[in-house]
Chain A
Amino acid sequence: MIVNLWQAQVEVKRKNMETTTTIEPKQKVYFDLTTSPHLHSRWTTSKVMWFVVAALVPSIAAALTFFGWTQIFIIIVAVAFSVGTEISIQTIRKKQITWFDGSAALTGLLLALTLPPNFSLSATAIGAIVAIGLGKQIFGGLGYNIFNPALVGRAFLQAAFPVQITTWTKPNFAVDSVTSATPLAALKFDKIFTDTASMTIGNIGGSLGETSAIAVLIGGIFLIAVGIVNWRIPLSMIIGMLVFGGIFWLIDPQNPTPVFHIFAGSFLFGAMFMATDWVTSPITNKGMWIFGFGISLVLIVIRIYGGLPEGVMYSILFMNGFVPLVNRYTKPTIFGVAKEAVKK
């Protein structure tokens, strides 16, 4: 509510006073009367989204370096179709069009980075439409979806194009010993171990964004530093993987080490960018720990016993479904309540 302060004041009549005081307006100023707090942190939804996009730049750069600049088309198609789907659905539903908040573009970008190099552009477009349409807008748009939209899109593509989505390209600087298969697939199907150094730099087969662990970590640490990513989720996933992966490794040393599990596949990409999606992760601190451990547990089971070599996508989607329940059972104890209970 905004009122013209001095206009309202021009005639101030006081009861019990014979004269009418007239105050001349000194300056014409409009005053804001909203209630406290009068200060606000400078974060906005769109700023958050663009920060995440910025954090993905190292991963994009790594993808273009290792798999060639033409991969940019996958990204462009995914982003364009995501934004297009968002605008179309909001137009049809006669809702406010909000593509400029950056959330749809971010979903498209994340989807693109989970796809294999040289993936079909038409399939990419379908994935983007599904991600925004089925993953987000059908629930009511930003803030209301249960499952990570980019992963919903990818899960659809995995079902629809099972061969294409597991067809990997050799990285650009591959020496002869490096296969085009991902480290996890190489291990699962051919019992070949990939060394951690290659996985760190990214000179391995794999999806666009997950290839370089170091690029993912740079972006992830940036997001933790600016306070967008809550450190509890990636940390609990990593601890969870060390514990659960470690247990399986101790039981049977034929299984890969927990460190391999962390650097292989899209574990780090998922931990930094997918599981930490605000909308689809728990809102309580305790809940975030449960969520992270849960993902690692489901993931290790899929990787070791499942038919697929990789399971980050499914484990995150699986745990997304538990988020409302986790939130409900991890309500923080109100300040002072515990002490009172102890006294009694």
Chain B
Amino acid sequence: MSSKTFKSGIHPKEYKELTEHLSFETIPLPDEITLPLSQHLGKEAKALVKKGDEVQPGQMIAQAEGFVSAPIHSSVAGKVMSLGKEQTSSGFPKDSIVIKTNETVESQKFLFTPLNPNAVTAEEIRERVALAGIVGQGGAAFPTAVKLTPPKDKTIDVVILNGCECEPYLTRDYRFMIERPDDLISGLKLIMKALDVKRGVIGIEDNKPEAIKILSGKAKYEEGIEVVSLKTKYPQGAEKMLIKAVTGREVPPGKLPLDVGAVIQNIGTAIAIHDAIVNGEVLITAALTVSGKGIKNPKNLIVPVGTPIQNVIDYCGGVTEDAMKIVVGGPMMGFAQFDLQAPVMKATSGILVLTKDEVAKNPETPCLRCGQCIEACPLNLMPTKLARYTQLNRFEHAEEAGITVCMECGTCAYTCPANIPLVQWIRLGKQKVLQMQKERVVK
């Protein structure tokens, strides 16, 4: 099978061997969970409980507020301890509900009635996905029900399941593909049904031959579903890159995948949709990879949403002597943590403990104008220029050069031999430019 891909990009060391052979383990319930009301893009959910309330696992404790939002469910049985600002893994404190687990209470899990996946209607799928609080599992956590409700004037002809998992270390999607291929295809079929699309593609990078083999074998018997092998490269899991690799279509700056007729869903999202429809489950667990050379026992885990990162790390045997950095998400786009009480959220795909050696930074020197960042940038930007414009406060020039197009994948900063924090400068410049554009609208 020939492998498709997009232009440019990089090949960071993968480190997937740390966890790719390990099946999912379920972590014991923590004593206390913290559930931020905003675990998704869009409006914060509205709390339905108050201090002192008893809650059951799967019980909706906050409801979606508006269209682009998602409800929050309790992942344990227990008592609401507090409502207030708590630290989250994004680095900002957010309104959260803290629940103390009560293990003595005979807990009864809230479930929906299972639906027959063959008889279910598009409307029912959307409703169930919304009620189950499913959000995109790729990291951005966009409410899935919204993605399944495209505007009427857009024609969508392909659903792409993102099986790239292009971030180093992470093996969660890979484990899903190996362990639950049937559920995955069932989830994909439900997405296709909700969108009334006849073509479904599972894009998998060719560093996961086992997953390609298993899913190709299953896809043979399904009409309209195919597995596409993609050349391993970062950032292929980015929506724009994946659409380009699979269909050859380019999403213009500022446009969405559905503008070119494609909808992308993460592997984990498809599994969650299957679970919600076929098993009647709500999204109260997160599947994630705990990896890095700084963690004693790397694992793939199923974790109740709201579990403090500290518990997850302790479960994996703690950190080693030379641990240097704790990252939530992937190593290329994840967030470094300073408070391990921050909870695991719905879209958390990984917790990495990186050692001094892994995150080693070299001294920064002036730009050598080698052009490697330009060659590597998947969006054909000129990172060195954008960073320079930001340094010189020339935001008009940065805007003209397309700074707002940048998706902050970090490819440029990874490549730079002069070790200039290019993407960090670009992030700063992008904020300034967006602010400038807002002011312009006001005027």
- Contact surface of A with B, Cβ cutoff 8 Å: 3, 5, 8-9, 12, 14-17, 26-27, 29-45, 47-48, 98, 101, 141-144, 227, 230, 278-285, 288, 331-340
Determine the chain B residues whose CB is within 8 A of the CB of A282 once the complex forms: 371
Which 3 A-B pairs rank lowest in CB-CB distance, beginning with the nearest?
A37-B410, A143-B366, A283-B371
A334 touches B381 (CB 8 A): yes
- Give the residues from 310 to 341 in chain B that come closer than 8 angstroms, CB to CB, to chain A: 318-319, 321, 323-327, 329, 331-341
**Count of B interface residues, CB-CB < 8 Å:** 79
**In the assembled complex, how far is the CB of residue B203 from the closest CB belonging to chain A, in whole angstroms?**
18
Partner of B369, one of A48, A143, A332: A143
Partner of B358, one of A35, A39, A43, A278: A39
**In the assembled complex, how far is the CB of residue A200 from the closest CB belonging to chain B, in whole angstroms?**
30
Partner of A337, one of B252, B363, B366: B252
Q: Which residue of B lies closest to A38 (CB)?
A: B331
B374 touches A334 (CB 8 A): no
B379 touches A230 (CB 8 A): no
Q: Complex: how many Å from CA A5 to CA B319?
A: 13
B417 touches A41 (CB 8 A): yes
Q: Complex: how many Å from CA A26 to CA B382?
A: 45
Determine the chain B residues whose CB is within 8 A of the CB of A41 once the complex forms: 10, 12, 414-417
* In the complex with contacts A38-B325, A335-B405, A32-B336 CB distance below 8 A: yes
Most interface-central of B244, B417, B423 (chain A CB within 10 A)? B417
Q: Complex: how many Å from CA A332 to CA B168?
A: 28
Q: Complex: how many Å from CA A221 to CA B334?
A: 37
B414 touches A48 (CB 8 A): no
- Give the residues from 89 to 135 in chain B that come closer than 8 angstroms, CB to CB, to chain A: 98
A35 touches B338 (CB 8 A): no
B331 touches A334 (CB 8 A): no
**In the assembled complex, how far is the CB of residue B68 from the closest CB belonging to chain A, in whole angstroms?**
24
With an 8 A cutoff between CB atoms, is B147 at the interface?
A: no
Q: Mark B63-86 against chain A: 1 for CB-CB distance below 8 A, else 0.
A: 000000000000000000111110
**In the assembled complex, how far is the CB of residue B422 from the closest CB belonging to chain A, in whole angstroms?**
10
Partner of B365, one of A36, A45, A281: A45
**In the assembled complex, how far is the CB of residue A210 from the closest CB belonging to chain B, in whole angstroms?**
24
Partner of B424, one of A30, A35, A283, A340: A35
Partner of A48, one of B340, B378, B415, B417: B417
Q: Mark B401-412 against chain A: 1 for CB-CB distance below 8 A, else 0.
A: 110010010110
Q: Complex: how many Å from CA A138 to CA B220?
A: 67
A39 touches B365 (CB 8 A): no
B359 touches A38 (CB 8 A): yes
* In the complex with contacts A5-B338, A14-B98, A332-B333 CB distance below 8 A: no
* In the complex with contacts A31-B326, A35-B424, A39-B331, A283-B380 CB distance below 8 A: no
Determine the chain B residues whose CB is within 8 A of the CB of A30 once the complex forms: 324
Give me 29 A-to-B residue pairs in the complex whose CB atoms sit less than 8 angstroms apart, sorted by A's number: A5-B338, A14-B82, A15-B82, A16-B82, A26-B318, A34-B361, A36-B333, A36-B336, A36-B408, A36-B410, A37-B331, A38-B332, A38-B352, A41-B416, A44-B419, A143-B365, A143-B418, A280-B369, A281-B369, A283-B384, A285-B371, A285-B375, A288-B371, A332-B374, A334-B253, A334-B379, A336-B250, A336-B251, A339-B249
